[in-house]
């Protein structure tokens, strides 16, 4: 397939997991890709892949995001597709234990990062006379409590609202803005969980709360992102596509404290 022939794609958080799978899928389907990440091994990850240009930077830092789009413009004349994928978990601390500094860091990467990608990416598209698609990685944790830490969940809920606002404010531009909401996916972000389960011989318990009774793979999310970015989704705009094996149909979770316990 060559759905993205002659298209230019910019992807943040491209070094591993969903970002790496998405980067490779776009390249395989004909796109020129600017892969952006903080990782020191980013260039090594895509060495020898001619369709992929790498750039090290921080998705939550405006100067770096501007530099990413400047690179896409200087090398390829602009950008057609943006995947704002970079994210951090913020750990497992509860609402009353997580520090303000941790919240600030999570929001900077997970919410300000997509804002910067949308803001400057859309301008790059308009300035070069291109219509295009923007896909932001949110999470099932954006939908209701029980699927992620407090700061992470709040930041991803912000991403869902961000794409709705952006879709409205880009009306008439031809630029579509959507989000993908992954469930439990094996990636760098969840490596510790998977490693612990395997060490205890309990890998089979991963994902057991969803109806398919398994965790997901980065390639499964990459295919959803590619769909949203493609002409096959030409009438999909301002939408959050849930890809979670049905987890969010109930979101069961264990409460952190019993009724009547002191939480402070």
Q: What are the residue numbers of the active site?
A: 152
Which residue, among 54, 70, 55, has the nearest Cα to 127 in the 3D structure?
A: 70
The residue with tokens 């402070």 is 264
Q: How far apart are CA 92 and CA 196, in angstroms?
A: 15
CB 42 within 8 A of CB 54: yes
Which strand ranges, in their side-by-side order, compose the sheet holding 81-84?
Answer: 52-56, 32-37, 8-12, 81-84, 133-137, 176-182, 240-243
Tell me the HSE value of 5 on the side-chain side, using a 13 A CA sphere.
3
The three-state secondary structure class of 201 is coil
Summary count for the chain: helices (H), strands (E) = 8, 7
Distant-in-sequence, close-in-space partners of 9: CB < 8 Å, separation ≥ 6? 26, 31, 32, 33, 34, 79, 80, 81, 82, 83, 229
Q: How far is CA 137 from CA 33, 77, 182, in A?
A: 17, 25, 8
Specify which residues 54 forms β-bridges with: 35
E strands in 20-167: 32-37, 52-56, 81-84, 133-137
């Amino acid at each position: 397939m060559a759905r993205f022939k002659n298209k230019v794609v910019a992807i943040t958080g491209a070094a591993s997991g969903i970002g790496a799978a998405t980067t490779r899928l776009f390249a395989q389907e004909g796109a020129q890709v600017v892969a952006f990440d903080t990782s020191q091994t980013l260039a090594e990850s895509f060495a020898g892949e001619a369709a992929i240009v790498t750039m090290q930077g921080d998705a939550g830092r405006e100067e770096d995001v501007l530099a990413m789009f400047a690179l896409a413009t200087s090398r390829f004349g602009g950008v057609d597709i943006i995947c704002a994928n970079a994210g951090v978990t913020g750990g497992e601390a509860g609402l009353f234990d997580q520090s303000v500094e941790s919240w600030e860091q999570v929001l900077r990467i997970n919410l300000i990062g997509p804002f910067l990608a949308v803001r400057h990416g859309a301008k790059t598209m308009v300035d070069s006379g291109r219509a295009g698609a923007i896909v932001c990685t949110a999470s099932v944790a954006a939908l209701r409590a029980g699927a992620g830490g407090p700061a992470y969940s709040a930041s991803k809920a912000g991403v869902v609202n961000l794409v709705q606002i952006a879709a409205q404010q880009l009306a008439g531009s031809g630029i579509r803005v959507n989000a993908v909401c992954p469930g439990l996916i094996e990636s760098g972000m969840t490596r510790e969980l998977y490693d612990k389960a395997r060490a205890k011989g309990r890998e089979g318990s991963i994902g057991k709360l969803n109806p398919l009774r398994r965790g997901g793979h980065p390639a499964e999310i990459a295919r959803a992102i590619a769909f949203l970015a493609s002409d096959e989704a030409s009438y999909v705009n301002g939408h959050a596509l849930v890809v979670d094996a049905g987890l969010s149909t109930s979101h069961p979770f264990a409460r952190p404290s019993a009724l009547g316990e002191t939480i402070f």
